[in-house]
Amino acid sequence: MRVLITGGAGFIGSHLCEYVLNRGDECVSVDNLITGRLSNIAHLLDHPKFSFRQHNISEPLFADGPIDLILHFASPASPADYLAHPIATLKVGSLGTHNALGLAKSKNSRFIIASTSEVYGDPEIHPQREDYWGNVNPIGPRGCYDEAKRFAEAITMAYHRAHGVNTGIVRIFNTYGPRMRLNDGRVLPALMGQALRNEPMTIFGDGSQTRSFCFVSDLVEGIMRLAGSSEHYPVNIGNPSEITIRQFAEEIRSLVPGYTGRIEQLPLPQDDPKRRRPDITRAREILGWEPKVDRLDGLKRTLEYFRNELGL
């Protein structure tokens, strides 16, 4: 197969590139490097079946030759990134998705859009099922990301219904692992960076809000199973093991011997979801998928990556 991955130099995108190459397929990585990093794919650049194009998918993209699968993963994805780049986030979710879908239509490709648990907003049902329409503030500070992804889902389904494009939608819940950026603003790299630097570990509010963390290798396996299926409707991919942010901070602190700092509270951001846990019934039934990496094992592997990043 020949696979094109937008956002291919990003955290998840780079792992997808690696997966595609490891199974023997050709991979074209496209990224404008607004949040992606060439260091994420440096080890792939000399691979005979890998190519990289620096391009903003919000501008039209043309590609020679056949493309069997398009994985559209281009977008700022952490709160710090999409709050810093709100217009770019909205454009890549709308114009970028439109361009990627147009390419899929012209190449008769299978197309997978990276959506997010953020389409559920601050959810009123728990755990979140794919048939839940969400509780999103469209004009709040997080709206640039939430609504970009909701629009991306809508136009993806429109291309499937109107043009017969072979589309799929993956709703990604909190994911972690090597190649995250220490400064991307997400809770795990923030807490790990603070612990490794022996700084106070900061949480928002009293830390009673919950998240469910999935290791990146599990996520990638779920995405690729969806890509190989005939499913068109959204599928949650995430780990249903739920934990409070305060408990999560305590877990990370316990993995850093000699840490002498303390956990400090900051004001809770506007529209921050109180609970987040995927219902993965559809993933189990349709894809035969469920996460396998234990959180403690995944945290240790990620912590080692950040130690190397900080030169410790």
Q: Which residues are catalytic?
A: 145
Residue with tokens 């005939």: 230
Q: What is the CA radius of gyration of the chain?
A: 19
The answer to whether the beta carbons of residues 257 and 217 sit under 8 Å apart is no
Q: Where do we find the tokens 């397929």? A: 25
Q: Rounded CA gap, 232 and 158, in Å?
A: 11
Q: Cβ distance 178 to 219 under 8 Å?
A: no
Residues 104 and 65 sit within 8 Å (Cβ to Cβ): no
Question: What gap in Å lies between CA 280 and CA 272, rounded to an integer?
Answer: 22
Question: Is the Cβ–Cβ distance between 35 and 184 less than 8 Å?
Answer: yes
CB 21 within 8 A of CB 50: yes
Length of the chain in terms of residues written:
312
